Chain A
Amino acid sequence: RKEVEQDPGPFNVPEGATVAFNCTYSNSASQSFFWYRQDCRKEPKLLMSVYSSGNEDGRFTAQLNRASQYISLLIRDSKLSDSATYLCVVNRGGTGGGNKLTFGTGTQLKVEL
């Protein structure tokens, strides 16, 4: 089983749609969770951290379910500029692993007119 699993997509949605991405992780020792965005042939850029209580940043809402080891990202009112690959990222946790990150393969989003 992969440490971080995501549906690779692509998700093709019309502009203005709401889209949700899911992610599961296998390491119960993980303590930090993030969503990164990666554009084609570019480096990952932090979109948002994910907290147990859930958090929102504009059109983006992230949720964490520790019991199920499940993370989600909701994008409302999709824009063309949201087209990218969204990476689910968790830290390894445990002794010596706390500051190391494990990346999912990413979910590709294509927002269309």
Chain B
Amino acid sequence: GAVVSQHPSWVICKSGTSVKIECRSLDFQATTMFWYRQFPKKSLMLMATSNEGSKATYEQGVEKDKFLINHASLTLSTLTVTSAHPEDSSFYICSVYAGNQPQHFGDGTRLSIL
């Protein structure tokens, strides 16, 4: 299966800062990647589908101007949390869709906004 690397693994920053998270598919050219968010003791919630070479598609209730996604190559998708606030503190995880189920997950980014 695909090997997925996510960076950084932990971010702590001040309110108002924009934070970029990278998701890399190390051994598979991924036209589709997914971004999830998980709050404590809650399930993973799909935020958006990242499509290589085109705009991301966002789930209902997810602000596309708040969570900017760029998938400029087949091995890299980035999620930028713009002007982050404490309520954006969460565990963000990406996954790679390798043409069949199941998806392969990155090891996640824990974001803490002070």
- Chain B residues contacting A106 (CB-CB under 8 Å) are 43
A-B contact count (CB 8 A): 47
A46 touches B102 (CB 8 A): yes
Nearest-neighbour CB distance to chain B for A8, whole angstroms, equals: 8
Contact: B43 with A101, CB < 8 Å?
Answer: no
Q: Are A43 and B43 in contact (CB under 8 A)?
A: no
Contacts of B46 in A (CB 8 A): 100-102
- In the assembly, what is the distance between CA of A32 and CA of B110, in Å? 29
Do residues B43 and A100 form an inter-chain contact, with CB atoms below 8 A?
no
Tell whether, in the assembled complex, residue B103 and residue A101 are in contact, meaning their CB atoms are under 8 Å apart. yes
Tally A residues with Cβ within 8 Å of B. 23
Most buried by B among A32, A41, A100: A100
CB of A59 closer than 8 Å to a CB of B:
no
Residue of B nearest to A102 (CB): B46
Interface contact A91-B105, CB-CB below 8 Å? no
The residue of chain B having its C-beta at the shortest distance from the C-beta of A99 within the complex is: B97
Docked complex Cα distance between A46 and B97 (Å): 14
Q: Can you list 14 A-B pairs with a CB-CB distance of less than 8 A?
A: A8-B41, A34-B102, A36-B102, A43-B107, A46-B102, A49-B102, A87-B43, A89-B102, A99-B97, A101-B103, A102-B46, A103-B43, A105-B41, A105-B42
Beyond known contacts A45-B105, A87-B44, A102-B46: 19 more, CB 8 A cutoff:
A4-B43, A32-B101, A34-B102, A41-B110, A42-B108, A43-B105, A43-B106, A44-B44, A87-B43, A89-B102, A91-B101, A99-B32, A99-B97, A100-B34, A100-B49, A101-B46, A101-B102, A103-B43, A105-B43
